[in-house]
Structure 1
Amino acid sequence: MKFGIIAVLLAAVFFQNSVASSCYGKNVEVIVINGIGMTGDGLLRPDPYVEVTIGDLSKKTRVIHSTRNPFWYQELLFNNVDSNEMTIDVWDRDSGFRGSDDHIGSCTEDLSSHYDEYVLVECHVAKNGIVNLKYKCYGNSQEEEY
């Protein structure tokens, strides 16, 4: 009998923590911090930017021109997300005769809520390049309206 009660309580705690850890239906604040070792096309230094996608929503950082080690520290806000997966794509902006933007690399991160604390992410892209960012999930757009 005691074992049954303990098992039910543990299951309830586990279920509560698994539900609380989901970012689905919440707002997600992503701060793209910096990049290290970005590569471009050929001998030119890249003009990198980052595109973050959660579900059907995508947002981009500004382009940092002619650097392998960009510093963005740019906030991207996603309201009421419909996915627990975040895709980070890193691009090299090309203009004029050089054609369309070049995809440097990407990674995917499963989102989880840590009670308004930021989660650090190190996204490894092509040829040892890294993008550092952090995110947190909180509330939702319906709660904020009241």
Structure 2
Amino acid sequence: MENLLGLVRIHVQRGINLAVRDCTSSDPYVVVRMGKQKLKTRVVNKDINPEWNEDLTLSIADPNLPIKLSVYDKDTFTLDDKMGDAEIDIKPFLEAVKMRLGNVPNGTIITRVIPNRENCLAEESRIVWTEGKVVQNMFLKLQNVESGEIELQLQWIDVPGSRGL
């Protein structure tokens, strides 16, 4: 891990208006992938507006690798159904971390990221200085599915002895 730049904690908050895959509802969970890393949340049963409220931590070695997020419906006897996917563009977030802000007031907005064709944002996302950390809240619009958004938050974690950004 000599190339480690630091860690990104992804707080997977909730799903909004997710697709129905089992009769009237779904049993959704989220899978986050980056390079060889793969993390997943717990399954929330029978809920298309699930609250996961769960932290997943990725180690960042190559800032150009996309973070891919997929939502699945847990099935007992068949393969889990796909309920859409999205990609997190962490470049603006990493640029904000690189600024090495120290003495700015809590709640200062460092950058605004506007939804465009290159990202999956459902609305403007703000990168904010919060309690000594760079934090980005975002709503991701799921692709390849009829409906659904995922609310999440990125937070940078410096690792002592890593190269840093």
Identify the TM-score tier after normalising by the shorter chain: 0.7 to 0.9
1:90-109 correspondence to structure 2 within 5 Å: 90-96=71-77, 99-109=78-88
**CA separation in 1, counterparts of 2:18 and 2:68?**
18
Highest Rg: 1 or 2?
1
Segments of 5+ residues of structure 1 without an aligned counterpart are: 1-23
The one-letter code of the counterpart of 2:13 is I
Deviation (angstroms), 1:141: 5.9
**Counterpart for residue 139 of structure 2:** 122
Contact map agreement 1:124 1:130 (CA 8 A) in 2: yes
Deviation (angstroms), 1:121: 2.0
Contact map agreement 2:19 2:147 (CA 8 A) in 1: no
**CA separation in 1, counterparts of 2:73 and 2:29?**
7
SS at match of 2:146: helix
Contact map agreement 1:28 1:81 (CA 8 A) in 2: no
RMSD across aligned C-alpha pairs, in angstroms? Answer: 2.1
TM-score (norm 1): 0.72
**CA separation in 1, counterparts of 2:72 and 2:81?**
6
Identity %: 25
TM-score (norm 2): 0.65
1:33-72 correspondence to structure 2 within 5 Å: 33-72=13-52
Contact map agreement 2:74 2:80 (CA 8 A) in 1: yes
Out of 65-74 and 126-135, give the one that drifted further: 126-135
Deviation (angstroms), 1:79: 2.5
The structure where helix makes up a greater share of residues is 1
**Counterpart for residue 70 of structure 2:** 89
**CA separation in 1, counterparts of 2:161 and 2:60?**
8
The structure where strand makes up a greater share of residues is 2
Out of 106-115 and 50-59, give the one that drifted further: 106-115
Deviation (angstroms), 1:110: 1.5
Pair 1:141–1:53, CA change in 2 (3 A): farther
**CA separation in 2, counterparts of 1:70 and 1:57?**
24
**Counterpart for residue 131 of structure 1:** 150
Contact map agreement 1:47 1:64 (CA 8 A) in 2: yes
